[in-house]
Chain A
Amino acid sequence: MSKQLALVIDLNVCVGCHACVTSCKEWNTQGSAGPMTDQDPYGAHPSGTFFNRVQTYEAGVFPKMETVHFPKSCLHCEEPPCVPVCPTGASYKRKEDGIVLVDYDKCIGCKYCAWACPYGARELDEDRQVMTKCTLCVDRIYSETLPEAERKPACVLACPTSARIFGDVHDPQSEASKAIAERGGYGLMPEWQTQPANHYLPRSITETIAAVKAEN
């Protein structure tokens, strides 16, 4: 079976510190995907291009509520709906490792792929006027100059709670696949048959705390 690189994100331990967001921006703005431009970064209404964002929100109904930190980036779908709609072929999915990429020299900035992505993972770079998205740090993971331990996506290396696991989800022996299998990893919006490669590990921490409280 072919390789499908992906991230598995553990929602139990993500604390919403945004280290993955800043390290992603730091690496990718100077890497082969960069620059990732900002608009009015020090002004009243800063905005800019990010490949990875953490959305924090409250879930549940009072008093049974919890704060969820939800890191969101391109899910590198096995059936990416953004790829066939691209009129130029700038959006493509790599056969060798399943990474979905944009060729910035071919992108005409028509934004059709951003419409077609049900996850909102794609962002138009307002300065460069091309569509950008997570590259799974394709220029890091195959680097021959970095130490072998650092050949992982920048967000994975930066996460202080090890909430992000990087690996081949087609290889049942990989750490990522094992985490999905053992801890009920799930893909987002499965009803659309996009088969996202990235998976999320559901929170079990609330049940654990409730069980401990019940025992005492």
Chain B
Amino acid sequence: MHPAFSLVFFTSMAGMAQGMVVSLLVLHLAGDPLPNQFMNYLAFPIILLLLAGGLLASFFHLGHPERAWRAILMWRTSWLSREVLVMPSFIALTVLAYIYSWHFSAIPNWLWGLLSIFAILLWVCTAMIYQCIRFIQEWAHPMTMVNFIALGFASGWFLLMVLFVIWSAWLSGEAIVTTQNIAGVAGFTAFLLLFSLTLKLWIWKRNLPSNLNRLCNQQPESNKRQFDKSRWG
């Protein structure tokens, strides 16, 4: 399987945006109100740029992008169709949150809730597109979804930390991460990155050809006999 580069861009950029939204929620719940100007001038524009870039990239893997609207039709059976519904909804909610943040300097709790639900839903849809194909044993495993969520969250969180530094060092001069909470923030960052790395290494090890051949041979006996009818099977 060699997914198109457009899909790699889509998955990385959208996953990072989702990760940033969830990270902002985590900090919101932790009780550290982020500077409103940081949200309005840096965080939300970057999130929306990532989402727009991802959405644009996803069109490039289609043979007929002008018919892309049709992809919302089969949401009853197709995870791809569900993703096509959830992605614009997530973008719309992010825009709404941006408007709230801009005009009222705060995002209501119900919107935080909806935002995080749709961020996670989008991860679930993206992951299930791959995970639901049971013949591709590299993907047909619960760790596929854990992988999408972990890498999205870790990359979004990491980008947010980078933005904190840019904001504090060059843009405003005010420190977001203070001496009181720097240990917690650094520890959490290290944990996310280490967890993602370990998960990725575990998945790569599992997907070694020698391991997957073993999985393929776990068929019921009746099927094996049926194969043996053709002696080259």
Contact = CB atoms under 8 A, between A and B. Distances in A.
A186 B1 CA distance: 28
Interface stretch (A26-34, A79-87, A136-144, A154-162): A79-87
Interface stretch (A39-47, A108-116, A165-173): A108-116
A191 B134 CA distance: 11
Nearest to A203: B230
Interface string A76-112: 0000010111111110000000000000001111111
Interface of B: 1, 61-65, 67-68, 70-74, 77-81, 84, 129, 132-136, 219-220, 223, 226-227, 229-232
Contact of B71 (A68, A110, A128, A184): A110
B231 A203 contact: yes
B185 to A, nearest CB: 40
A88 B73 contact: yes
Contact of A192 (B72, B132, B135): B135
Interface centre among A87, A88, A90, A186 (most CB of B within 10 A): A87
Interface residues of A, number: 37
B158 to A, nearest CB: 30
Contact of A86 (B61, B74, B229): B74
A200 interface: yes
A128 B64 CA distance: 9
Contacts of A54: none
Contact of B80 (A68, A110, A129, A203): A110
Contacts of B77: 83-85
Most interface-central of B1, B62, B232 (chain A CB within 10 A): B232
A109 B64 contact: yes
A111 B71 CA distance: 12
Given A87-B71, A89-B74, A129 B64 contact: yes
A111 B223 CA distance: 29
Given A112-B80, A115-B1, A87 B70 contact: yes
Contacts of B84: 87
A206 B226 CA distance: 18
